[in-house]
Amino acid sequence: MPEVTYLDADLFFFDKPAKILDEFHQSGKDVLITRHNYTPEYDQTKTSGVYCVQFMPFKNNPNALHILRWWKDRCVEWCFFRFEDGKIGDQKYLDDWTDRFRGVHVMQNQAAGLAPWNIQKYDCQPGPTVNGVQAIFYHFHGLKWIRTADKEVFTSNSMYKLRTGVHKRLSKV
């Protein structure tokens, strides 16, 4: 197997992830990480990290496996969803990867890694597109399904204010 990709369960793909993987392969690097890309009002870099554990390909080579094992060992040692001693869950560990390890590529494609903490930066239209470009994936952080007797709807984490219609535009209608 040439590589393996870690995916968060709350991602929804609108377009082929090949666009991200093409960027990764062209970088010549061994691991890809994604910035949270926060809007200023939701910047949680200090507590939640620079990078988001959401879409992370690792090549099947000694360097990538070294990075993956290092991350796994840290998560086995400590991985709780609370901020403590400069850590939170599995993701603050990524903050220094571009310095700590060689071969780490930071994704440049702005149409991937869309999320409630950064979608305010974009003109989101049906399709869906962001700033006129086909959206690749959206991270539905805090997604909750609400089922009533006559319908099913979803809501996202209420700490983020989304412009009216953003969730509707992020559907394949």
The tokens describing 171, both together, are 């559907």
Q: Is the pTM of this model over 0.85?
A: yes
Does any domain span residue 44? Answer: yes
Q: How does pLDDT run along the chain (173 residues), one tens digit per residue?
A: 799 999 998 898 999 999 999 999 999 999 999 999 999 999 999 999 999 999 999 999 999 999 999 999 999 999 999 999 999 999 999 999 999 999 999 999 999 999 999 999 999 888 899 999 999 999 988 777 777 788 776 666 667 776 666 656 665 53
> Is the same domain home to 70 and 146?
no
Does any domain span residue 18? Answer: yes
Burial class (CB in 10 A: 0-12, 13-18, 19+), 63: middle
Does any domain span residue 21? Answer: yes
Does any domain span residue 98? Answer: yes
> Is the same domain home to 135 and 90?
no
> Is the same domain home to 14 and 92?
yes
What residues make up the domain containing 156?
119-169
Last residue of a domain, one of 61, 83, 106: 106
Number of domains comprising the chain: 2
**Which pLDDT score, from 0 to 100, does residue 150 have?**
82
Cα dihedral 118, 141, 34, 3, rounded to 10, equals: -150
**Which pLDDT score, from 0 to 100, does residue 145 have?**
73
> Is the same domain home to 78 and 32?
yes
